[in-house]
Amino acid sequence: MSHAHTPRPLTSHRSGPFAGRLRVPGDKSISHRALMFGALSTGRTRITGLLEAEDVVNTARALTALGAPARKTGDVWEVLGRGVGGLTEPSAPLDFGNSGTGTRLMTGVVAGQPITVTMTGDASLSRRPMGRVLKPLKQMGLQVLDGDNDTLPLTIRGSSELVPITYALPVASAQLKSAILIAALAAAGETTVTGEETRDHTERMLQFFGAKVRTQRHGNQVAITVTGEAELKGGDVVVPGDPSSAAFLAAAALISPGSEIHIDGVLTNPTRIGFYDTLREMGADVTFQNERSEGGEPVADLRVRTSRLKGVRVPPERAPSMIDEYPILAVLAAFAEGETLMEGLAELKVKESDRLAATAAGLVANGVAARVEGDTLIVVGAGPRGVKGGGRVVTHMDHRIAMSFLIMGLASDAPVTIDDATFIATSFKEFRPLMESLGAKFEG
C-alpha cells in the first residue's frame, strides 16, 4: 500500500461574519478507545457519533483483522467483542497510517493476546518513537521481535501471562499511560501507573465498560490502578464532539467581526479544555451551555462570539490539557493585543512534525513577530492593526498546522496559503464543508 501523494495547496480568504449552529465530529481519543474496548468486551458494542477520520477507521480495520469485526450500519458502528485475551493473529501487517494514538494504544491491546502482530504506518508515523510505550509493556511480558527497534514497522508478540507492574511515567503522556492500563486488563493482579495528571478518557471508559479502576491523587501526581483478568461488557457509547476540532471553529468566530456560532455536544472533560480556559483569560466570549454527561464524559453546547483578545502567559502545567491546541492558539495570539507566552512545549517537538518550529515559521511567513526560546513560544500580537497574511505555510504533513493557518487567512488582510491540505482528513475531514457552511471562503 503506497502512502505517496500529490500535495494539494489550499488558500483561505478574508471571510465572515460567521454565524450558525452545528456539531463537530466525534472526539478522536474517545473514538479509538470505544472501538478497542468494544473489541475487548463480551457481546456487542454500539457506537454513535464515532469520528470517521482515517486514523479511527484504521483502528477499526486493525480490530477487524484481529478477529473483532467493527462495521458501520446506518449511523451506528458495531463492534463484535471477543473478550480480554480473545483476539486472533492477523494474516497481514496492521497499517495505522498517520495515527500515533491508534498505534500506541494497540500495542497495549496486543500485549495481552498470545499472538504475533506486525504494525506499519506512513512515512511520518514511521519516524515517531515507540520506545517509551514498549519499555513498560516489555516489563509486563510483551516481546519485541525486531531487537532494539523502536520505530515502525514493528513486530511484537503478546502473552496470555502478563505480569502486573507499578510504573512511574517519565513524561505526562496519556498515550503511554493508556497503553499500560489497557495491557493491565489481561495481567493477573493490579497494575498501577503514577505520574502527572493527563487525559483520563481511558480510566472513564474502562469503568463505563465494567473494569475496576481506582484513582488516587497526591498534589498534581495521580496513581491509577487497574485490576487485571477483567471482564468488560459491551454496551452503547455516545462519542461527544471533539473539543480540538471545535477549537478551529471557535477561533474563526473570535477573530472575525460580528460573528456568533453555537457548537453542540462538545466534550468538556477538565483534562481537555485548557484551550477554553486560556481563551477566557484572553477576554474571549465563550460560554458552556446545557452541561450534561454522556458515556461517562461531561459534555456542553458552546456559544462563541467575536471578542477583542489580549496576550497572556500560558503556564507549562496547562500544556497536557491543550497540547493539540497550541498552533490555533498561536494564530489567535497573532490577532490579540500584546505578547502571548506559551511555556513548557517540549512535547510539541515530537508530534506529527516539530509542531513548535512549524507554528513559529508559519506566523513569521505571515508577518507576525514570533520566536521560540527553549520550550517557550512567544507571539507578539498585532492587535487592532490586524495580521498581514499573504504567506505560504509549510505544513510538514501536520493536519493541525494546516487548519490553524487556514483559519488565520479567514481574518488576515491578505490570503494565506498552505502547501498541502491532504492531511486534514486524518483528524477532521469535514473541516472545509463545516467552515464553508458558516461562511468561510477557500480556494484550491
Name, in order, each residue with C-beta under 8 angstroms of 44's C-beta and a sequence gap of 6 or more. Answer: 38, 78, 79, 80, 81, 234
Q: What sections of 386-430 are H helices per DSSP?
A: 399-409
Name, in order, each residue with C-beta under 8 angstroms of 147's C-beta and a sequence gap of 6 or more. Answer: none
Check 301, 324, 419, 420 and give the catalytic one. Answer: 324
Q: Which of 51, 109, 55 is nearest to 84 (CA)?
A: 109
Cell numbers representing residue 4 in the block: 505517496
Please, what is the end-to-end C-alpha distance for the chain in angstroms? Answer: 27
Rounded Cα–Cα distance for residues 248 and 265 (Å): 16
Residue 15 is classified by DSSP as: -
Active site residue 324: yes
Q: What sections of 40-173 are H helices per DSSP?
A: 54-65, 100-111, 131-140
Residue count of the chain, please give it.
444
Rounded Cα–Cα distance for residues 304 and 378 (Å): 25
Cell numbers representing residue 63 in the block: 480490530
Cα dist from 118 to 64, 156, 157, 318, 444, whole Å = 15, 6, 9, 36, 38
Task: Give the position of cell 498470545.
Answer: 114
- CB-CB neighbours of 433 under 10 Å: 9
Rounded Cα–Cα distance for residues 66 and 86 (Å): 9
Q: Sort strands 166-168 and 10-13 into parallel, antiparallel or unpaired.
A: unpaired
Rounded Cα–Cα distance for residues 423 and 123 (Å): 13
Phi/psi of residue 274, each to 5°? -55, -35
Task: Give the three-class secondary structure for 362.
Answer: helix
Rounded Cα–Cα distance for residues 255 and 232 (Å): 46
Rounded Cα–Cα distance for residues 118 and 235 (Å): 30
Catalytic residues: 324
